[in-house]
Structure 1
Amino acid sequence: MSIHQPPAANAVHAAGSVLRARRLGIDTYQHLVVYLRRDSPVCRAEGFEAQSRIELICGALTVTATLNVADSELLELDEAGLSDASWRALGVRDGTPVQLRHAAPLQSFAAVRAKLQGRPFDDAALLAVAQDIVAGRYSDIHLATLITACSGSHLDLAETIALTRAMVAVGQRMQWPAEVVVDKHCVGGLPGNRTTLLVVPIVAACGLIMPKTSSRAITSPAGTADTMEVLAPVSLEVEQMRQVVRREGGCIAWGGGVALSPADDILIRVERALELDSDGLLVASVLSKKVAAGATHVLIDIPWGRTAKVRSEQAARQLANRLEACGQALGLHVRCVLSDGSQPVGSGIGPAQEALDVLAVLRGQDDAPQDLRQRALTLAGLLLELGGKAAQGQGEALALQTLESGAAWRKFQGICAAQGGMRELPQACCSQVLTARHGGRVVAIDNRKLSTLAKLAGAPRAAAAGLRFHAPLGTVLTPGQPLLTLYAETPGELRYALDYAETQSALVTVEDA
């Protein structure tokens, strides 16, 4: 949250800089925005212009917001309109007096400009940058410039380590009464890859502590938190998370609810919009949250493939090397595993569809997706070895025993109960089967286009929306055979997705069998 305590030297401005707060009900996500009339006496007296950075002061709180100017009677002359994010940050009511003043100069941004000119960041500069990001002093333009300066291979290992430490320093840090606390992460890029919901109960059932925080989707049809949320509440506060872990040994919570690495949460929002890849930012993002969550041993899954997030084996190995080196510098035991990123994992894509796959594996159903099951067993086994619960090479056997005995399913039910109770899965009211136009063997699948198709159907906002994929690599198709089933919550969204599918000949690539 973009909040900081105002310095004592910043005295209250004259009464002319005070306006009445008004909630406008505008969702700007995490971006704090204030709206003023152009002919407002405050706007004119202070010289405020559109996109100015403005400090809003209410009692002991000061937040920094971006100004949008209105040339209409949307607002009264003595009102300051607040976006939902600004409203939550200030915690005010309609009519509450709020002071406005120009934001102080952004001193830490000098280091960002220097980086663009080829000068490396030092530890002090990155700490100052992280502090200003969390305090809300960086606008989206500042954030985009910082991300650009760090993009590609522009951050070296020393800078990556310093950035990770800075992100940890400006957030909360949890501690657990155990010498070994395990965690896992997947760098993403594969639809349906919900191994976390299987690995956590397997590992916790074997006696390891695993306080897992996960993200919601930003550009994908489901994040781990979205899928878990159709099964149980995930918006836990820090103390709630502690209680769940004390009771069950593990949890699957939304990371945004506990704000363990708030600078990263802010950077991710802009980084994803820019679609800029950076090993340095990715490593700092992943490891800062693991350190903040109190982990000591971390397993990281790096899928690679033509349409995955990581495109080549060489790129995957370079990323693994940086993750392991940075982890070592921070006192973490990090192990990376490279995995197949050539196709979706499981059959479901979208929160409810992916949850169906997870439940099928946990319950031992005959129709459970075997690729998801095997990938989860492999990761759980490696984590059990890393955490000292199994000898080298014996972890997967222990994971398999835990799954087949029903212990993992019971543990998952216990975690759901501790987080607020297990839920019934939502059902989509509209569906449509898409069939193969030509016969042949499936030789390639476009993960990105399948993800786009599920999003156009409404996922993850509509939890029941998404698709089930019926044609993994190697499938021999006949004309008219089902490729996938689309699910939507409205006829309009289903039509929208179908229109896209009809223009995409390369969702799957088929060659003569």
Structure 2
Amino acid sequence: MLTIKRLAIDTYPENTAFLLRRSNGYSAEQFQALRKIRVSGEGAEILASLALVDESLLLKPGEIGLGEQAFRRLGLPEGAQVAIEQARPPASLEYVRRKIDGDTLEDDEIAAIIRDIAAHRYSPMEIGAFLVACAGFMTTQETLAMTRAMAGLGNRFDWKAPLVVDKHCIGGIPGNRTSMIVVPIVAAHGLIMPKTSSRAITSPSGTADTMEVLANVDLSEDNMRAIVAREKAVLAWGGRVNLSPADDVLISVERPLRIDTFDQMVASILSKKLAAGSTHLVLDIPVGPTAKVRSQEEAVRLRKLFEHIADKLGLVTDIVITDGSQPVGNGIGPVLEARDVMAVLRNDADAPQDLRDHALFLAGRVLDFDPALRGGRGYARAMELLASGEALAAMERLIEAQGRQEIRHDPGAHVHEVRAGEDGRVTAINCQRVARIARLAGAPMDKGAGIDLLHKVGAQVRKGQSLYRIHAQSATGLGFARDLAAEDSGYEVTR
């Protein structure tokens, strides 16, 4: 038996266990042969990757160190006694091998793979093999089976209401922070809209990152339920409440590999919406030359796949195809996006018109789910709620209910102006490029980092005039972003 020692080492997303190379009754060869071990005790168990330690100050003989993820998932206290043994490969890996060979898998085989992934029985390499095999070929039935399996694991909310609405954008457009405007509009109207969002993985900010500038988003399930009961809505980080946990594991491998197929996107999004308890969903598919979806034909194909899977799962959808040719709003990054959102909700004269218009359009589609409204009246109702200040009041109540952010976040003090190289008109903005520049500046981890867009497509600019302003909270971050912008600003200016 070994004694647990918690090690403050972040090994996300993997479980990692640490053992002294010597003095534990095993030879180094046995340690290296294990690769993955089963750690068990007091009715709990996890599978963990094994790392060997040669520094006796870190661990003593008879101790097993657990990284943060492994310690939390095992759920036993420091000092508890556990046993280790070599972990057997999951039986479902045989199905992965068949998928690699081009086979079509049955529903129960897909479910077994997803269960083992959610239980952290797969290594990132094995998950990557499964994702690449699915990217090569996946039937609609396999996509449906994957969505069902993912939604069936982890937590699942039931709001005890016939109408629970949600809105989702497939992403890829910087600054498109419409959810933080749609949710208070819908809440002010009285529909239930518990919005759970992820943190950004490859973008400069997600809804949770931006909302965190204003309020606490790390809410427990009980806290979320209480807020929704009182305010009809919430804007929270979904990772805390364990919705579709297999999706979080898959995403951690998908993103570095840049795997984002339509089938996996549909399974990811719809499984989260089902787990969140949604009954009706407005889905936004932006189309543009540097968006995730590049053509109208691709958008229609994706829309049909969403509709088919959602219908099979009993989720009512309204899928809209929108303009994704350039960033939305004036800010990219948590603080700058929060600034834009609040300017729209306050009806400020200088609020970004494109963000306001897009949010009102989507809010209107959500409100059209309300059977009490006449058909097509949702947009007019959304405008009323925004113009009257009722949406702003609903947002302020949400901020107070979730816990107003005590730390004031400001745009990063390290600033660099990216200027036009010639006179002309802005004819294109590369969404992927400006997003990458904002991330190199430090967004979203540094809340104040990002890009302030000073000109959008169609604007006339002079040589030397600032196109956008990079904000960073460190000189290093500013340097990285400035160098990338110098290679290619992401702006196309044509005479």
Same fold by TM-score, threshold 0.5 exceeded?
A: yes
5+ residue gaps in structure 2? none
Distance 1:160 1:122 in 2: 11
In 2 relative to 1, CA 355–325 (structure 1 residues): closer, same or farther, beyond 3 Å? same
Partner of 1:114: 98
5+ residue gaps, structure 1, are 1-17
Alignment partner, residue 491 of structure 2: 508
Backbone CA RMSD of aligned residues:
1.8
2:35 to 52, 55, 60: 52
Counterparts of 2:82 and 2:487, CA distance in 1? 52
Q: CA–CA distance in 2 between the matches of 1:46 and 1:511? A: 64
From 455, 466, 473, the equivalent of 1:471 is 455
User: Which segments of structure 1 move beyond 4 Å, counting only runs of 4 or more?
Assistant: 71-74, 92-95, 422-425
Say whether the 8 Å CA contact 1:50–1:68 is kept in structure 2. no
**Which whole-Å deviations, capped at 9, do the CAs of 1:380-406 have from their partners, x for residues lacking one?**
001111343533322111111110000
Secondary structure, counterpart of 1:151 in structure 2: helix
User: How far apart, in 1, do the equivalents of 2:33 and 2:15 lie?
Assistant: 14
Three-state SS of the structure 2 residue aligned to 1:208 is coil
| 1:315 and 2:303 are equivalent in the alignment | no
Separation of aligned partners in 2, 1:324 and 1:219: 26
Could you tell me how far apart the structure 2 residues matched to 1:359 and 1:405 are?
15
Q: Which amino acid aligns with 1:451?
A: A
1:404 aligns with 2:372: no
Are 1:231 and 2:218 an aligned pair? no
How far did 1:92 drift?
A: 4.6
Instruction: Using the TM superposition, name which of 451-460 and 422-431 deviates more.
Output: 422-431
Letter in 2 for 1:435: R
Q: How does 1:177-256 map to 2 (within 5 A)?
A: 177-256=160-239
Q: How does 1:152-167 map to 2 (within 5 A)?
A: 154-167=137-150
Q: How many pairs does the alignment contain?
A: 493
Match of 1:450 among 419, 434, 437: 434
Deviations 1:297-317 (A, max 9, x none): 111101111111112221111
Deviations 1:247-286 (A, max 9, x none): 0111111110111111111111111111012111111111
Of stretches 85-94 and 401-410 in structure 1, the one that deviates more from structure 2 is 85-94
Q: TM-score, normalised by structure 1?
A: 0.92
* 2:422 is the counterpart of 1:438: yes
Q: CA 1:179 to 1:321, structure 2 compared with 1: closer, same or farther past 3 Å?
A: same
- d(CA) in 1 for partners of 2:101, 2:92: 15
Q: What is the rounded CA distance, in whole Å, between the counterparts of 2:69 and 2:34 in structure 1?
A: 16
Counterpart check, 1:79 vs 2:59: no
Q: How far did residue 43 of structure 1 move?
A: 4.0
- For the residue of structure 1 that corresponds to 2:214, the secondary structure is coil
Task: Letter of the 1:403 partner, please give it.
Answer: L
Measured in 1, the distance between the counterparts of 2:33 and 2:215 equals 43
Check the 8 A contact 1:436/1:477 in 2, yes or no. yes
CA contact (8 A) 1:360 1:368 kept: yes
Structure 1 counterpart of 2:413: 429
The farther-off stretch of 422-431 and 211-220 is: 422-431
Q: 1:22 deviation in Å? A: 2.8
Q: Which residue of 2 aligns with 1:486?
A: 470
Matches within 5 A, 1:340-351: 340-351=323-334
Query: Aligned equivalents of 1:43 and 1:168: distance in 2?
Result: 41
Question: 1:495 deviation in Å?
Answer: 2.1
CA deviation string 1:134-159 (max 9, x = no partner): 2221111221111112115x222111
TM-score of the pair, normalised by structure 2: 0.96
- The whole-number CA distance in structure 1 between the counterparts of 2:177 and 2:296 is 22
Q: Which moved more, 1:343-352 or 1:65-74?
A: 65-74
- Given that 1:58 and 1:90 are in contact with CA atoms closer than 8 Å, whether structure 2 keeps it comes out as no
Q: In the aligned structure 2, how far is the partner of 1:313 from the partner of 1:190?
A: 16
Q: Is the 8 A contact 2:173 2:324 kept in 1?
A: yes
Q: One-letter code of the match for 1:171?
A: G
